[in-house]
Structure 1
Amino acid sequence: MTLHPPEPFRIKMVEPIKLLDRNTREVAIRGANYNLFGLRSEEIFIDLFTDSGTSAMSQAQWAAMLEGDEAYAGARSYYRLAEVIQDIFGFPYFLPTHQGRAAENILSACLVKPGQYVPSNMHFDTTYANIRARGGLPTNLVIEEAHHTGSYHPFKGNMDIEKLRDFINRVGADKIPFGMITVTNNAGGGQPVSLENLRRVSQTYKEFGIPFFIDACRFAENAYFIKLREPGYADKTPLEISQEMFALADGITMSAKKDGMVNIGGFITMRDEALFEQARNELILREGFPTYGGLAGRDLDAMAIGLREVLQEEYLAYRLGQTAYLAARLRELGIPIIEPPGAHAVYVDAGLLLSHIPQEQFPAQALTVELYLEGGIRTVEIGSLTFGHLDPDTDKMVYPKLELVRLALPRRVYTQSHLDYVAEIFGKTAARCDQIPGYQLNYAPKLLRQFTAQLEPIKADNHLSKTLTELSILSV
């Protein structure tokens, strides 16, 4: 087995973890109503639930936190962060927020009105929910190759330009308050977007007078994929590529808990002064004064360092290499994954692996439960539980095209032996995949139901009808 690039760091502090016995795990998952969001951290052995806010910070970040200025207004920490954001992203106006969904909420509150549409390659769950909460209609227009998990395409996160143009012409530009694109495309396997595609998306939005915002959570990983895969960029640095990416947009939202390398934090940027003033008022109402935005000064300083560190090429080579290593181990076991693997996670095609479970019985959620029971691994469902919804026009359930389980790798946290253990547990689980049951919902809210849904396994002698399952999905 080829080793992934060695870690460009050494371990200075450790956190103990413990594998609970099978009986204890069974009690824990029942107590969590078969929803892995409900598990306690001490009940997890390997936590691949998310890379958001779970990364290990560097000694430089911890040192910077000691210099955090906690002044309510005008803190030095804010200006240090503002300088970094101006250098990397290049927008004249910026507001810190406590995390990315707060930035999405502010943008949606300022711009989205009921009945309006917001196109993107693929909206992730909080973006999707913030738009819907304002009465908007989030729309995914990713290229068709994104739905073919086993095929190779260097930029499966690309938006389909023809679909975008047809969509704008059909609904009317006046019904689109802004357009988006997510880099990398989290809902579609962490797949990157090419600069050529970003250019064409930007040109299309500008042609129709539609503001263009980038969801930039994993911008550095996207920039490194461009460097590796897109002709003409091999000699460019990740910083130079990032600057070229953001020059195409009117603003960004970002959860710094991803490529900001921090445990909390985010921000929103823009070029339009009038929008900035409106967003600033929303921020003051919901987050805090504009120079702290719901964060402590020490958090702002840690973010400023993290945004620099994430662009280091030796780190990015290690990051992509670690994910590629786990993908290779799963591939050897015959586990179907999205190809090629992204940077922050490996995505398993649970719909294919558990083809005996229909979508209304949540096959991806079923796989996450089994991985926890088999080896104490926590992963996350990105499928019918997260994205299934009622079509308001037909009153029928709409399911996503892919049923995925995401194995997200926290930055600078796990070693190769941890990944070998994950592969071993996957192999044991896959060997009995035909014995894994589907699930039914006992409770779920209308928005972001995956966070608090309560489920139970469907017994072989007690299958609910599809109609009853769909009704349970809508319970509040």
Structure 2
Amino acid sequence: MRTIIEPFRIKSIEPIEMSSPEMRSEWLTEAGHNLFRLPAERVLIDLLTDSGTAAMSARQWGAMMAGDESYAGARSWYRFEETVRRVFGFAHVVPTHQGRAAERILFGCTVNSGDVVPSNAHFDTTRANIEYLGGHAVDLPCAEAADPTTDEPFKGNVDLAALEALLDARADDVPLIMLTITNNTGGGQPVSMANIRAVAELAHRFGKPLYIDACRFAENAWFIKQREPGYAGTSIPEIVHEMFSHADGCTMSAKKDALVNIGGFLCTRDPSLAEREKNLLILSEGFPTYGGLAGRDLEAIAAGLEEVLHEDYLRYRIVSTAYVVDHLHDAGVPVVRPAGGHAVYLDAGRFLPHIPALQYPGQSLAAALYQHAGIRGVEIGTVMAGRDPDTGAERPPQLELVRLAIPRRVYTQSHMDYVVEAIVEVFERRDRLAGYRITDEPPFLRHFTATFAPLG
């Protein structure tokens, strides 16, 4: 069958409050033209993030009812730990309340001022946690990642020659290497097994640990199965196990591919590092058998980590995103191709070529989508990644994007048809859009709370 149906039935619904463009224009002004500052009830289709926005299954809700809320050694902890070990293969598991807490603890134990942490591409909180400690987050994406128009299968790969050159020049300053799967900053693009293996070989040749940012590990495994020679007959759990067999540890926001609304964890093979991480965990998160999570959350994560490996779910998930990308491409809308797993990425630089990077074309496009149709996305461009942490100068990134992240198991095809229609309509009147200036911003992660004013 050509039609891929949602592999679930809907048992509960949440009403959407309708609004007019005039109402949304007023609300946008009240929010300082920053979509993060909007009350959620003023959004029709919320594609701000796929983090913590999933609809949980009946099995997950049932598991929550069995949560053991004992402070130490709860039954739910042991179920969670066993599941994480079985899926990822790491001996030491440290629970955290979400992914950025795992990053903070890992880097707090490993990164010193002046250190360099290379990656295919760091996302916002990863970069901020490194820079907060005085380190430098260095992106080394493959050359194919620079062209959003091509259909190269693994644009999330690391540039191996660039990584080797950096290690040759500054190995003493590199505490670890990070690899984000899929590559969120670069359009949700996957990393091949061959590239994971090669990065691991380089890391270990120079005596450096390799850590994987595992937020969307199952989606990456699906792409390997579909696109990489030799894996078509391999099961998703086997591919996942092989991916992480090359790594020394991982950080995980369970709010993505564990299909839950809160939670995360940190894994390692190093027992002494695990002990230091747990000591930091106790200071800020909680006891090592709950890590800032309730027992019911641990149960929901354990169930979600099993459900996300189902091929029927992954097929639906990836095809749903590709459906939007293909329709936009056919309509002439500049969009990152091929489709990633969790989001549609509009190429704001090509969408609004008349707006220079320092007037934030991505912010202009995101605001226009909200005002026109009530769709909330997020800018991934100069606003998010354009401020040099050392000099404070603006440094536009390679791509100016708007990410429309699709929550897991939340929206139907008619919602996505509405999104496509709205984007095409904004594209048809794109010449009317103007840039923005920042009127106020914080020192870190400015895209979350900055305020803007339109130009012209």
TM beyond 0.5: yes
- 1:249 is aligned to 2:247: yes
Does the 8 Å contact 2:260/2:300 carry over to 1? Answer: yes
Specify the alignment match of 2:93 in structure 1.
Answer: 94
Structure 1: where are the runs of 5+ without partners?
460-476
Specify the alignment match of 2:310 in structure 1.
Answer: 312
Q: CA deviation at 1:452?
A: 0.4
Does the 8 Å contact 1:391/1:398 carry over to 2? Answer: no
Specify the alignment match of 2:137 in structure 1.
Answer: 138
Residues 415-446 of structure 1: per-residue CA shift (max 9 Å, x gap): 11100101111111111111101000011112
The 3 A distance-change label for structure 1 pair 92 and 391 is closer
Partners of 2:423 and 2:396 in 1: how far apart? 25
SS at match of 2:212: strand
Specify the alignment match of 1:198 in structure 2.
Answer: 196
Q: CA deviation at 1:4?
A: 4.7
Specify the alignment match of 1:467 in structure 2.
Answer: none
> Pick from 406, 420, 423: which aligns with 1:423?
420
Partners of 1:396 and 1:382 in 2: how far apart? 18
Residues 279-333 of structure 1: per-residue CA shift (max 9 Å, x gap): 0011111100011100110000000000000000000000011001111121122
Does the 8 Å contact 1:366/1:437 carry over to 2? Answer: yes
The 3 A distance-change label for structure 1 pair 4 and 162 is farther
Does the 8 Å contact 1:4/1:324 carry over to 2? Answer: no
Specify the alignment match of 2:27 in structure 1.
Answer: 28
Partners of 2:189 and 2:165 in 1: how far apart? 24
Partners of 1:409 and 1:189 in 2: how far apart? 13
Does the 8 Å contact 1:179/1:205 carry over to 2? Answer: yes
Q: CA deviation at 1:396?
A: 4.0
Specify the alignment match of 1:67 in structure 2.
Answer: 66
Partners of 1:431 and 1:335 in 2: how far apart? 9
Does the 8 Å contact 1:441/1:454 carry over to 2? Answer: yes
Q: 1:385-400 counterparts in 2 under 5 A?
A: 385-390=383-388, 392=390, 396-400=393-397
**How many residues get paired?**
456
- 1:449 is aligned to 2:421: no
One-letter amino acid of the structure 2 residue matched with residue 296 of structure 1: A
Q: 1:119-268 counterparts in 2 under 5 A?
A: 119-171=118-170, 173-268=171-266
Relative to the length of structure 1, the TM-score reads 0.95
One-letter amino acid of the structure 1 residue matched with residue 92 of structure 2: Y
> Pick from 429, 432, 448: which aligns with 1:432?
429
Q: 1:252-291 counterparts in 2 under 5 A?
A: 252-291=250-289
> Pick from 333, 350, 353: which aligns with 2:351?
353
- 1:303 is aligned to 2:294: no
One-letter amino acid of the structure 2 residue matched with residue 21 of structure 1: S
The 3 A distance-change label for structure 1 pair 344 and 305 is same
Partners of 1:356 and 1:391 in 2: how far apart? 28
One-letter amino acid of the structure 1 residue matched with residue 426 of structure 2: T
Specify the alignment match of 2:362 in structure 1.
Answer: 364
One-letter amino acid of the structure 2 residue matched with residue 80 of structure 1: R
Specify the alignment match of 1:463 in structure 2.
Answer: none
Q: CA deviation at 1:391?
A: 6.4
One-letter amino acid of the structure 2 residue matched with residue 103 of structure 1: A
Does the 8 Å contact 2:69/2:296 carry over to 1? Answer: yes
Does the 8 Å contact 1:214/1:249 carry over to 2? Answer: yes
Does the 8 Å contact 1:29/1:36 carry over to 2? Answer: yes
Does the 8 Å contact 2:131/2:389 carry over to 1? Answer: no
Residues 93-129 of structure 1: per-residue CA shift (max 9 Å, x gap): 0011000000000011101100000000000000000
Specify the alignment match of 1:411 in structure 2.
Answer: 408
Does the 8 Å contact 2:212/2:249 carry over to 1? Answer: yes
Partners of 2:362 and 2:3 in 1: how far apart? 28
SS at match of 1:188: coil
Does the 8 Å contact 1:362/1:384 carry over to 2? Answer: yes
Partners of 1:438 and 1:268 in 2: how far apart? 40
One-letter amino acid of the structure 2 residue matched with residue 330 of structure 1: L
Residues 196-218 of structure 1: per-residue CA shift (max 9 Å, x gap): 00000000000000111000000
Specify the alignment match of 1:474 in structure 2.
Answer: none
Q: CA deviation at 1:341?
A: 0.6
Residues 328-378 of structure 1: per-residue CA shift (max 9 Å, x gap): 121122111111011101101001110000111110010000000000000
Partners of 1:37 and 1:14 in 2: how far apart? 24
Residues 247-289 of structure 1: per-residue CA shift (max 9 Å, x gap): 0000000000000100000000001111101100111111000
Residues 64-108 of structure 1: per-residue CA shift (max 9 Å, x gap): 000000011101111001111111111110011000000000011
SS at match of 2:251: strand
The 3 A distance-change label for structure 1 pair 391 and 86 is closer
Structural RMSD (CA):
1.0
One-letter amino acid of the structure 2 residue matched with residue 232 of structure 1: G
Partners of 1:75 and 1:157 in 2: how far apart? 39
The 3 A distance-change label for structure 1 pair 4 and 115 is farther
Percent of pairs identical after alignment?
A: 54
